[in-house]
């Protein structure tokens, strides 16, 4: 038995999401593959916010 994988385009991915195919799952399109992701926790979210603030300060001199 052989396995065939499908590479999805961004437009196809958005259509699948609109149809509710990924309902109850956190997924994203990564290099043409739809992968399930772990939602970010509070610690990760806080680090992203801190990094974003630091980068904005660098570019708003």
pLDDT digits (tens, 9 = 90+) for 3-56: 888 899 999 999 999 999 888 888 999 999 999 988 889 999 999 999 999 999
Cβ atoms within 10 Å of 29's Cβ, excluding its own: 17
Partners of residue 27 on adjacent β-strands: 36
Domains of the chain, residue spans: 10-59
- Candidates 4, 6, 1; CA nearest to 32 is 6
Q: Band of the pLDDT at 61, cuts 50, 70, 90?
A: low
- Candidates 31, 39, 38; CA nearest to 13 is 31
The DSSP element (H or E) to which 30 belongs, if any, is: strand 27-30
Cβ atoms within 10 Å of 13's Cβ, excluding its own: 18
């Amino acid at each position: 038995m052989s396995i065939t994988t499908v590479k999805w385009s961004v437009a196809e991915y958005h259509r699948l999401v609109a149809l509710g195919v990924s309902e109850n799952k956190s997924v994203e399109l990564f290099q043409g593959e739809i992968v399930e992701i772990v939602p970010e926790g509070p610690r990760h979210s806080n680090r992203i916010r801190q990094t974003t603030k630091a980068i904005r300060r660098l570019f708003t001199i």
